[in-house]
Amino acid sequence: MNDIYDDIPCIYFSALANGSLINVNNTLCNYLGYEKSELLDSKLEKFFTLSTRIFQQTHLYPLLEIQGHAKEIYITLLTKNGEHLPILINAERIDNDGDFFYQFAGVSVNNRKKFEEEIIAAKKVAEKALNENEVLKATKIELEKNAEQLDYQIALFNNQNEDLRQFTHLATHTLQEPIRKLMLYSGESSLSNNNEIQFTSPQKIRKAVEELNNKLNGLQQYLWLTKDGMEIEQVDLGKLIYSIKQEIVDVNPGINILLELELMPTIDGNKEQLHFLITELFKNAVKFRKQENLVEIEITHTSLLLNKFKQLTGKYKYASYIKIEFKDLGIGIDENFNEQVFELFRVLKPDNGLGIGLSLSKKIIENHNGSISIEAKKGQYTKFVIQLPLNQ
Amino acid sequence: MDKKRTIIYVDDDVDDRELFKEAMLKTDGIINIVYANNGAEALEIMDNDNDLTQSLCLIVLDLNMPFLSGREIFNIIKTKDTLRNIPVAILSSGQNPNDILFFKEQGVPYFTKPDRYSEIEILADNLFKLCKK
């Protein structure tokens, strides 16, 4: 055999169909640790591992019979020491005037096999990481859901706390006033100028009892106005506002209401509660009007995205909201005391109602997961800013 | 001549103002009573009417009122040079121990709104005495 083939950096061997080796090159002998002479008298099987032999009989030879060649076949050779040597070979069936023999040439793929193993190992790691990532993702979704639930619960808790606070104030203050007056009026009065026993007029007692009754009714309304069992439907705000305006005009004859209203959207909400809310805003505008016969109201709105998380900080999930600005050009109120208008039974002007409408309005807004605030300038205007989610 | 014969009574309850007036009329001295519905109104009066402020012998505050609570008004009064030396008395229906303690520490008399006519007279006497001090 030519010297060039003997020492080129790839293995070469040829064999007859029965497996008897015809030729081997030095490179193969070096790889396997045999002398050339040891191999030339032998058969292929001498350096084929068992699995390679099976492969040879079941795949390689049939392939060569049919196609005449086979490429990039991966086999394992057995060295003299019994070690396994991975090889990638090309094989050809040579027709030598009717005598067939096979030629094999190949390269050792020891390193490549290592790389492959590493790739497989890396792939396994990646798959594992992917799986874990999916678990993480599921956990994250779960956590987010829980956070939303938690936020909702905190809001509910805060609302209930607020109810309790209002109730406590009511029990310790608001109800005490009429009760004290009743005690006073129902006792004998010694304040007359002569020494006769005098009693307070029944009208005064009646007035105190009415006050007590009104406040208890107000409290009942406030406490009943909860979220539980609140029916949600599509509410056309524009239509609702126009019908309320008409109701207000009907009960306030002689007063003109000049209403500037933008085209309003339809939102999710409880119709009765929203009706009550807007009615209160109208009543408020009428009560605190600047001119005897005229109430000027402007209602505008904008859409915006707001964080659904109201209680938890650092948590964000944006949803569509509508911001409604209800502005009346009335007498306004002192800006320092704006927020007091939402307190239960807070009457900012004496003899001016029960002080319950706006606290109920605030509760309605909270039932709808929204917010209400007031901006006002004394002598100029009062503006209620309401934010409500489009979808409940 | 002792000119200090005016009491300013700050309370949003109309009935109580009437009672207060009735009671003070029973006292012997001639006392001038000025009413304010709330703290903001009271401060406006006292800031703008110098003669009145000069003649004040007592400021009587209810505690539970809109805009400013009696305690807030008290704190504001104590920051004003023209007002800080005028005696203050609290007249409230509230029994909040925090408030009672606060005013006790400040040395401010704390009266509970009466639920008997006989108490009104005693109250009026007490307020009158504070005014004469």
pLDDT digits (tens, 9 = 90+) for A46-56: 999 999 999 98
Helical spans, DSSP H, in B49-96 = 50-55, 70-77
What is the predicted pLDDT for the residue at A266? Answer: 94
Interface of B with A (CB under 8 A): 12-15, 19, 22-23, 26, 37, 40, 64, 66-68, 93-96, 113-118, 120-121
Contacts of range A257-261, beta carbons closer than 8 Å, 24 or more positions apart = A257/A282, A257/A286, A257/A295, A257/A297, A258/A294, A258/A295, A258/A296, A258/A297, A259/A297, A259/A299, A260/A297, A260/A298, A260/A299, A261/A299
| Coil, helix or strand at residue A279 | helix
Higher pLDDT: A382 or A193? It is: A382
Neighbours of A214 (CB within 10 A): 15
Question: B39-48 and B70-77 are packed helices; what angle lies between their axes, rounded to 10 degrees?
Answer: 20
Confidence category of residue B78, pLDDT binned at 50, 70, 90: very high
Confidence category of residue A216, pLDDT binned at 50, 70, 90: confident
Give the closest of B40, B66, B93 to A177, CB-based: B93
Quick one: what percent of chain A has pLDDT higher than 70? Answer: 93
How far away is chain A from the Cα of B128, in angstroms, using its nearest Cα?
17
What is the predicted pLDDT for the residue at A348? Answer: 56
CB contact under 8 A, A336 and B67: yes
What is the predicted pLDDT for the residue at B3? Answer: 62
pLDDT digits 0-9 by tens, B88-118: 999 988 778 888 999 999 999 999 888 888 7
Helical spans, DSSP H, in B1-132 = 14-26, 39-48, 50-55, 70-77, 97-105, 117-132
Mean pLDDT of A151-162: 86
pLDDT digits 0-9 by tens, A226-239: 777 789 999 999 99
What phi and psi, each to the nearest 5 degrees, are found at residue A192? -70, 160
Mean pLDDT of A57-77: 90
CB contact under 8 A, B64 and A173: yes
pLDDT digits 0-9 by tens, A27-43: 999 999 999 999 988 99
> Which residue of chain A has the CA closest to B67?
A337
Taking the C-alpha atoms of residue B100 and residue B107, their distance in angstroms, rounded to an integer, is 10
Q: Which residue has the tokens 């009457």?
A: A347
A199: contact with B, CB 8 A cutoff: no
Give the closest of A172, A187, A208 to B117, CB-based: A187
How far away is chain A from the Cα of B58, in angstroms, using its nearest Cα?
23
Quick one: what percent of chain A has pLDDT higher than 90? Answer: 43
C-alpha distances (whole Å) from A248 to each of A55, A234, A264, B15 are: 96, 23, 19, 31
Determine the residue type at A182: L
- Label each residue of A105-122 as H, E or C: EEEECHHHHHHHHHHHHH
Taking the C-alpha atoms of residue A370 and residue A319, their distance in angstroms, rounded to an integer, is 12
Neighbours of A65 (CB within 10 A): 11
| Buried b / exposed e along A264-295 (16+ C-beta atoms within 10 A) | beebebbeebbbbbbbbbbbbbbbbbeeeeeb
Q: Please, what is the average pLDDT of chain B?
A: 86
Taking the C-alpha atoms of residue A44 and residue A11, their distance in angstroms, rounded to an integer, is 14
CB contact under 8 A, A337 and B67: yes
- DSSP run (H or E) holding A207: helix A202-224
Residue A313 predicted with pLDDT over 70: yes
What is the predicted pLDDT for the residue at A214? Answer: 83
How far away is chain B from the Cα of A361, in angstroms, using its nearest Cα?
19
Max mean pLDDT range (A194-208, A331-345, B31-45): B31-45
Mean pLDDT of A347-362: 70
Answer yes or no: are the C-beta atoms of A333 and A317 closer than 8 Å. no
Backbone torsion region of residue A25, taken as left when φ is above 0, otherwise alpha when ψ lies between -120 and 50, otherwise beta: beta
Residue A256 has what DSSP assignment? E
Residue A1 predicted with pLDDT over 60: no
What phi and psi, each to the nearest 5 degrees, are found at residue A298? -120, 130
Q: Which of A6-15, A139-148, A156-165, A299-308 has the lowest mean pLDDT?
A: A156-165
What is the predicted pLDDT for the residue at A388? Answer: 95
Taking the C-alpha atoms of residue A236 and residue A231, their distance in angstroms, rounded to an integer, is 15
Answer yes or no: are the C-beta atoms of A185 and A125 closer than 8 Å. no
Answer yes or no: are the C-beta atoms of B32 and B24 closer than 8 Å. no
Residue B52 predicted with pLDDT over 60: yes
What is the predicted pLDDT for the residue at B1? Answer: 36
Higher pLDDT: B5 or A124? It is: A124
A263: contact with B, CB 8 A cutoff: no
| Coil, helix or strand at residue A303 | strand
What is the predicted pLDDT for the residue at A199? Answer: 66
A379: contact with B, CB 8 A cutoff: no
How far away is chain B from the Cα of A288, in angstroms, using its nearest Cα?
17
Q: Which of A144-148, A319-323, B32-36, B129-133 has the lowest mean pLDDT?
A: B129-133
Mean pLDDT of B10-24: 84
Which residues of chain B make contact with A351, given a CB cutoff of 8 A?
14
Determine the residue type at A187: G
A202: contact with B, CB 8 A cutoff: no
C-alpha distances (whole Å) from A232 to each of A71, A274, A316, A391 are: 72, 11, 25, 10
CB contact under 8 A, A180 and B121: no
